[in-house]
Amino acid sequence: MILEGDWLKNADPSRGRFRSLLLKSLKNFLNDAADKIHARKRGGDVSFISWDAWMSEAPSELSMSTQTLTSLPAERLFDVRWAATVVERALRRLREECERKGRRRVFDVLSAYLTVERDDVSCASLATKSGVPKGTVKKLLYRMRQRYRWLLRDEVAQTVENPAEIEDELRHLCGALAASSEQAR
């Protein structure tokens, strides 16, 4: 319901980031919904789509503590979910690239180590789990990390006006996540 109509066609990338546009649209939608609720009480007729039902169809998951969830303002929660969506889209593309080469298992095993320090990785163990030679595991990890970084930045690039803003957007989202975690403590 939020994205009904052709308003997106008129969106002007030069006027800011897509995340900001979507947040503004969401606020407008909620304000409109609140107005309609009041109108309904006065005899108006509106139909609502269940947020829970819509969210239940989401293909991915974001895990956070109940304390974090209940303590965050809506705007901060929006940023956290946005960050999770961007990250998961990059991970999904990486998985699909592995799948196209018939190496889904390589992704399943090695993607868990995308952010792990090299010293904490046992290449022998990963070789056994992934079914690839030990010497290849190290190279695969390096290139998967490199490729993931590129895919993540590419996902962010699609939401900002120009590449120079990628860094700022990433820092904004990192800051939002760190602040959310801090706020919940």
Closest to 116 in 3D by CA, of 97, 94, 142: 142
Q: Quote the CA–CA distance of 140 and 146 in Å, as a whole number.
A: 10
Q: Taken in order 160, 161, 163, 165, is the CA torsion positive or negative? A: negative
**Residues 8-47 close enough to bind another protein by CB under 8 A:** 8, 18, 22
Phi and psi at residue 106, in whole multiples of 5°? -60, -45
Asked if residue 90 lies in contact with residue 151, where contact means CB atoms within 8 angstroms, the answer is: yes
CB of 39 to another protein, least distance (A): 28
Site for another protein in 82-141 (CB under 8 A): 82-91, 97-98, 101, 103, 106, 111-112, 114-115, 117, 132-133, 136, 139-140
In this complex, which beta carbon is closest to another protein, that of residue 31 or of residue 60? 60
71 belongs to the binding site for another protein (CB under 8 A): no
Stretch that binds another protein, among 30-38, 39-47, 159-167 (CB under 8 A): 159-167
Options 46, 48, 54, 125; binder of another protein; rule CB under 8 A: 54
Q: Does residue 70 interact with another protein by CB under 8 A?
A: no
Choice from 10, 14, 47, 56 touching another protein (CB under 8 A): 56
Q: In this structure, what token pair is assigned to residue 113?
A: 């180590």
Q: How far apart are CA 74 and CA 63, in angstroms?
A: 17
